[in-house]
Amino acid sequence: MSFAGQVRPIVAAMVVLVASLSAARAEEANDYPTSARAEYVYGCMKANGETRQAIEQCSCSIDVVASIIPYERYVTAETALSMSQVRGNLGTQFRTSEQANSAVNDLRRAQAEAEVRCF
């Protein structure tokens, strides 16, 4: 067997490995469900106008946010923001929680970066 014949299976195995790793990274970067992305874009468009330009900018924005913070952290921040509006003791717990505030700050930093890149 020639040298080229010995190398081909190794190269093929490496190509498969690299493709698998690339697919895994793509899944990690795209871990936001479609419904969460759609909800974000809908809210963003309500705040920025319901134009074709707004849908492009808002779609870009959620892509940037998704590239910066994982979905689990996004959910924590969104929950904290929503629950902090509740009156009484329950809302106070979300407004004063260190974990909730940290997640919200992470989301706000990601949104600021999205603002710079997309708007």
Structure tokens at 93: 């717990």
**Amino acid 16: pLDDT:** 43
Helix (H, G, I), strand (E, B) or coil at 86: coil
CB 118 within 8 A of CB 68: no
Q: Is residue 102 part of a domain?
A: yes
104 is a domain residue:
yes
pLDDT per residue of the chain (119 residues) written in tens, 0 to 9: 565 555 454 434 444 444 444 334 444 556 999 999 999 999 999 999 999 999 999 999 999 999 999 999 999 999 999 999 999 988 888 889 999 999 999 999 999 999 999 99
- Residue 69: how many CA atoms within 13 Å on its side-chain side? 24
The pLDDT score that the predictor gives to residue 33 is: 97
Residue type at 77 in one-letter notation: A
**What is the rounded distance in angstroms from the CA atom of residue 99 to the CA atom of residue 76?**
9
User: What own/partner pairs with CB < 8 Å and gap ≥ 24 does 44-50 have?
Assistant: 48/119
The pLDDT, as a whole number, for residue 22 is: 38
Residue ranges making up the domain that contains 64:
8-118
| pTM score of the predicted model | 0.73
